[in-house]
């Protein structure tokens, strides 16, 4: 019998102690994927998220990590960015904190996924896009709410 190869995917999750980061992104998405055993990409390969929670408040992070069953957390973003195991940077901080952290993640060679809006101004958002493109990292912005049934009905 062939065994399944598990590929651990290190994801830096910055700002997840807020309501949206905790509920939508961590608990309903990443933790749910972990609990189902990961994402099967072939008959014998699975990707399993391995998040590291990052934020400013150690007590909140530790409590959230315990509740989520996540082993890794830190208040040191630079430490998380320096870890080669972490290949993706996710940001759900307040918008005014996002640009500098995303720039640091791009400089560290991490692929970027962040909550919307990307930045406080269009110019800064476009700068982040250009930096990511130049660095050759994949990048994306949360858009899930655009396709909810209520939003689609509003458009009609």
Distance of CA 56 to the CA centre of its chain: 16
Give the number of C-alpha atoms closer than 13 A to the C-alpha of residue 118, restricted to the C-beta side: 19
28 or 149: whose pLDDT is higher? 28
Give me the sign of the Cα torsion angle 112, 113, 115, 119: positive
Q: Over 60: is that where the pLDDT of 149 sits? A: yes
Give me the sign of the Cα torsion angle 111, 87, 100, 22: positive
pLDDT tier for residue 83 given thresholds of 50, 70 and 90: very high
* Residue in this structure with the two tokens 């960015």, named with its chain if needed: 81
pLDDT tier for residue 3 given thresholds of 50, 70 and 90: confident
Model confidence over 11-67: pLDDT tens digits? 999 999 988 888 889 999 999 999 999 999 999 999 999 999 999 999 999 999 999
Q: What separation in angstroms does the CA of 53 have from each of 101, 107, 116?
A: 14, 20, 19
Q: In the predicted model, what is the mean pLDDT of residues 90-96?
A: 94
Per-residue pLDDT at 146: 58
Q: In the predicted model, what is the mean pLDDT of residues 126-149?
A: 85
Per-residue pLDDT at 117: 87
> Vertex 70, ends 119 and 66: CA angle to 5°?
105
Model confidence over 107-130: pLDDT tens digits? 999 999 998 889 999 999 999 999
Q: Which two tokens stand for residue 90?
A: 């996710």
């Amino acid at each position: 019998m062939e065994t399944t190869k598990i590929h651990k995917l290190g994801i830096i999750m910055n700002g997840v102690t807020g309501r949206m980061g905790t509920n939508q992104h961590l608990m309903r998405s990443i933790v749910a994927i972990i609990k189902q055993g990961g994402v099967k990409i072939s008959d014998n390969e699975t990707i399993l998220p391995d998040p590291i929670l990052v934020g400013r408040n150690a007590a909140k992070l530790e409590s959230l990590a315990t509740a989520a069953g996540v082993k890794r957390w830190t208040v040191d973003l630079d430490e998380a960015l320096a870890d080669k195991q972490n290949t993706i940077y996710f940001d759900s901080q307040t918008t005014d904190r996002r640009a500098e952290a995303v720039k640091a993640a791009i400089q560290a060679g991490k692929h970027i996924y962040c909550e919307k809006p990307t930045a406080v101004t269009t110019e800064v958002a476009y700068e982040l896009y250009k930096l990511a493109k130049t660095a050759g990292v994949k990048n994306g912005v949360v858009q899930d709410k655009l396709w909810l049934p209520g939003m689609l009905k509003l458009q009609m």
